[in-house]
Structure 1
């Protein structure tokens, strides 16, 4: 028998070393790939930031306010906080190599990275023959400039790859077509015309702000996207008529949003956008980034997330910024209140309402709304052609001028607005209207500077109302309503909801200010409308601050009898001293009747009634010696709305027959 044996073999040392070498090479390759990916991602992020800086500079160069100026760009004042040039003297002829605009050349910090900004420019002229542009100075004025904007940063490897550059043309244009003045560098044409379709009264009211110019505010549109978020949007449009067309001169678009925010530690955020006065006109000024308290949006509806990201991040005040979001804030941040009314601390959620305005096509956080006045009236009486509308517009014009600069006539609310007369069982819509007025700042952040007030105070400035940033708004669906005697007159105050059909049924989704006359009474009830004066007033946020500032206004409603329901009744008596009797009559015969003698009479009229009632007798047949006539004293009334009793005094039939 043969015995077979086998011997097991393992891996040799050489095989193990080869395997380890292959594994090491693989790990090294993966590590190299990961490093490349990280570097690539970082490079892409830096390129994005650099491109944004370059684009900002291009926009900055285009925002000149004059064609030419005697001021040297290098001598212009600089904001000590932002390092930006003040804008009042920026001119087209300032634009040169590393000169022009507000943003200065040099290093710009973004997070932990440093970018270097620079630019060069070439001047172009038109030769006047075939209008061919050339860099040769063949004309006295520059037609346009070619700007080459470069942003670079330190990187790894070839530094030529760490550069982003853009080229752009910057045209001179004829400022005589604007209110900015200046000397045009070449013959220009007017800018594009924006046609406008004005909205009508009584829901939208025109305020005349200059010769031929009107301002109106569209109906606010509440959009309740969730229990947590309400967005309220409207436009303020200043316009004029040109033939059969209406042209928008200025269109301002706003969104006011309520958001849930979580307070975080200090980070970068924007100071308030605000209204800037340049000496002859106003413009919107963007806020700038500073390190301050911030927050993040949390638990907001998807339709509100983008708006709330801006709101939560930026709506914080800081000592470093002279302009504040919330009026009355002096140092540090304003308080942020939780839903229970207590002040939030870092890491806690709170409720915020922000005002955002579209500037350069983007909604930016803007200084808070400031409601100055609210007026309640009968909606139907504000229709075009009614005296109440005329009186209300005059009141608002005087109020605005008086509030801003203590000029204009004495602002007195229209006498025709109260009392409102209703008949029993009638229903009608009341309307609340408010006026918001913004502060105006100079380049140093000083509110309502002397040059602005002087301009507004001058009656010779026909556009002084136009330069005031005000919005006259229909607040009916945003204000709170109450009746002091709901047994006589009720008024609706339903929860806000998204308006479904703002054109045809603005008041149909939810009801506020709808009055119902239940009992006849004079006065019937006082109806009061109330509104917070800040952003929360528009977004319907329940009072979170301990002492919200509210404005209110009241009118009286008188309730008369319903149409066809009032009666005038009483007694009468006729004597016949001549010994005869006859059949009395009453006028107006179609509305009145008699019941016997001595007896009663009853008349039925439509309310309100104006007229005369009289009872008479006339006997002109039978014995001549007994023929006679007589009549009662007349009972007359004007505008009678209530049931009335009148007893006629006795009268005799002792006059010659008629």
Structure 2
């Protein structure tokens, strides 16, 4: 019995044990679910608190950024709203004003918030003029996930002295005091490969982090791409660390919008723009959302979370005043893509859009459009190291200098503020490039096998300068003591510019071929790669030895380029280009084949590929020509001697008008009506240009007269379009074959028939436009 009992017990759990386990597991899962929900809610609340705090801080900084005493005197209480990540925030600020009363030796409240300092308070105690400050208390409130109202608040004092004058006080102070601001230390940005800082004077530098598209979402294998980078201004480099003075967080997105999907309850905003000190908080649009706003298109592919803001705000309606999103455009037309072409979008059409957004007041706001003022390639190390893709030390120095040269010529040393927004001419840029050797080297050597080189592209972006910024730069020039500092140091800190590494955003070609291949990868498939996914040059499938080949780069000039779009969003955006020559050399051709070039000289190429010579050979050969004809790059299946046939070098040329001689055409024209045929002779016919389609055809005839390596053989189908000449080559390995041609007399087509339309008698003269001539093809 004991053995039987033990055997049954070992077979499994009893029902009561299972039920107990299920109950215990259920309680555990319920606790875990509650914990997860609590974590998610806590995370969302923490994010909301962070945004609210940033909103409060940025409002105080915005109020503190006045430039004149009148600006300070205008500071008063107010409120506004903002939305971030689907959370609506209400921000209110309360201003309390205090003035100094010498008779009591203390500050007392001033009842009026704006205007000049009053003479005295209600009891008659005098205030000292302009010796006052304002206390600002900012409260930001929002509704949390539970429906409860949350709020956060901060306060600070704002003195009557402007920030600019405050800086002068510090400069004149013999004590060790300095303006109060948070100290943020960062690693030296120049230690990051591809980042090139630009010195703006007095130990201050500015640099942009490397922009790289980020995959912000994925839906049905359609990727949401956002291009992000920060523009940092910093000083005090010490032990590879620096103190940040400002940080401009930037994201650039491409969107698909539709104005018929307006949210009339949402408020549109004008652009954030550089006001001479900072990117100003945007103002609410004076036009209603019905006439200015839009939302993302219903049927669009997955889009960035910032596209709602982009579609809503990025409009410059007719008659709008103040800063614009695209101040260089006369009209702000939206476009759709139809068969790869931009077409003005209708009222209910989806249209393409691209926006730059900058974090202002804690929220990303749509900024004035970017403009790539200067685009170029820099020499990279190409030394096989882990950072071979980074610019050389010489190229970095040359680039830093040419940026300062460019800014100097356009703004710093420019005497007319009206010209600050005018790009330098191509000839002026070329002169700067020559001085700084920015286009060195002329060519880069690359081996035919097992080799690679890197390319690096950069863009210099300068914001459009609104009147406030123009005035600040002009005033900075006037106040600059050039005996103490340089004009560049006085001016550049007020110029909103940045130099960006565009290597990951540039479109590179060729992406396939026999000579060179440049990587132009899709970031969605390369998110884990540490090296650049674009701009790496490798030999093609069968490169030609001792030849020069060119790699090309291009990018759109504004937001579309940085957003990595395959199209521009408007007709005003241009395409910027640069190129690099590579000298192919060394190595052996593949064992299974050889390559050579063919140049056809003393030959008139026609207007299309059908009027170029073609080649066949035994063994087989493939010869590909470039636009315009030469050179032909030929690849054979085996090495050694080959027979090359050049063919189809005769072709139909331009048509010529038939003109009668001696007042007689010598042509009979016939018209058949029913069973009757009317023939008119000696009509004195001449064919005008308007009837050139009916004119006589000609055949351009050529003959092979010389070959640099080989023997000229038999000619077949002479004087026809299919004429061919056999050439026995002595070598087909890494050679350049020059084939000389001689032009022979052209042959003219003969008349096959002449017919006319209309009613004429045999002695009538038929107008030219009633006559149709049919000519033979002289090249057949």
State the TM-score, normalized to the length of structure 2. 0.50
**Separation (CA, whole Å) in 2 of partners of 1:282 and 1:392:** 26
Corresponding residue for 1:467? 494
Shift of 1:242: 4.4
The verdict on how the C-alpha distance between 1:219 and 1:317 changes in structure 2, with shifts beyond 3 A counting, is: same
Q: Structure 1 unaligned runs (5+)?
A: 1-51, 67-86, 109-114, 151-164, 566-641, 645-658
**Separation (CA, whole Å) in 2 of partners of 1:142 and 1:379:** 58
Corresponding residue for 2:229? 234
The verdict on how the C-alpha distance between 1:524 and 1:365 changes in structure 2, with shifts beyond 3 A counting, is: same
Conserved 8 A contact 1:485-1:526: no
Shift of 1:335: 2.3
Map 1:347-386 onto structure 2 (within 5 A): 347-380=348-381, 386=393
Map 1:34-45 onto structure 2 (within 5 A): none
**Separation (CA, whole Å) in 2 of partners of 1:329 and 1:356:** 19
SS in 2 for 1:357: strand
Aligned partner of 1:430 among 426, 431, 455? 455
1:250 to 2:246 alignment: yes
Aligned partner of 2:440 among 416, 422, 435? 416
Shift of 1:427: 0.7
Conserved 8 A contact 2:229-2:249: yes
The verdict on how the C-alpha distance between 1:368 and 1:288 changes in structure 2, with shifts beyond 3 A counting, is: same
SS in 1 for 2:397: helix
Shift of 1:241: 2.6
**Separation (CA, whole Å) in 1 of partners of 2:263 and 2:300:** 25
Corresponding residue for 2:75? 100
Shift of 1:286: 2.4
Cα shift readout 1:505-551 (whole Å, capped 9, x = no counterpart): 042xx444433365354442111100000111112222254574100
Conserved 8 A contact 2:372-2:557: yes
Corresponding residue for 2:466? 441
Aligned partner of 2:98 among 115, 123, 140? 123
**Separation (CA, whole Å) in 1 of partners of 2:481 and 2:575:** 29
**Separation (CA, whole Å) in 2 of partners of 1:284 and 1:498:** 38
SS in 1 for 2:562: helix
1:516 to 2:539 alignment: yes
Conserved 8 A contact 1:175-1:181: no
Corresponding residue for 2:620? none
SS in 2 for 1:284: coil
Conserved 8 A contact 1:216-1:238: yes
Aligned partner of 1:195 among 185, 188, 196? 185
The verdict on how the C-alpha distance between 1:521 and 1:211 changes in structure 2, with shifts beyond 3 A counting, is: farther
Shift of 1:370: 0.4
1:171 to 2:167 alignment: no
**Separation (CA, whole Å) in 2 of partners of 1:296 and 1:438:** 26
Cα shift readout 1:294-350 (whole Å, capped 9, x = no counterpart): 11123589985531110010011122223221243335x432324653222222222
The verdict on how the C-alpha distance between 1:457 and 1:433 changes in structure 2, with shifts beyond 3 A counting, is: farther
The verdict on how the C-alpha distance between 1:269 and 1:91 changes in structure 2, with shifts beyond 3 A counting, is: closer
Cα shift readout 1:359-390 (whole Å, capped 9, x = no counterpart): 12110000111011211234326858732222
Conserved 8 A contact 1:388-1:417: no
Corresponding residue for 1:330? 330
Shift of 1:167: 9.0
The verdict on how the C-alpha distance between 1:537 and 1:519 changes in structure 2, with shifts beyond 3 A counting, is: same
Corresponding residue for 2:307? 308
Aligned partner of 2:582 among 557, 566, 580? 557
The verdict on how the C-alpha distance between 1:453 and 1:368 changes in structure 2, with shifts beyond 3 A counting, is: farther
The verdict on how the C-alpha distance between 1:283 and 1:356 changes in structure 2, with shifts beyond 3 A counting, is: closer
**Separation (CA, whole Å) in 2 of partners of 1:148 and 1:234:** 32
**Separation (CA, whole Å) in 2 of partners of 1:334 and 1:213:** 40
**Separation (CA, whole Å) in 2 of partners of 1:439 and 1:299:** 33
Conserved 8 A contact 1:259-1:352: yes
**Separation (CA, whole Å) in 2 of partners of 1:190 and 1:371:** 35
SS in 1 for 2:491: coil
Conserved 8 A contact 1:124-1:146: no
Shift of 1:485: 9.6
Corresponding residue for 2:505? 478
**Separation (CA, whole Å) in 1 of partners of 2:179 and 2:275:** 27
SS in 1 for 2:455: strand
Conserved 8 A contact 1:481-1:492: yes
**Separation (CA, whole Å) in 1 of partners of 2:328 and 2:474:** 21
SS in 2 for 1:391: helix
Cα shift readout 1:438-476 (whole Å, capped 9, x = no counterpart): 112124x98998557878998534243332211211111
1:396 to 2:421 alignment: no
Aligned residue pair count: 456
The verdict on how the C-alpha distance between 1:423 and 1:398 changes in structure 2, with shifts beyond 3 A counting, is: same
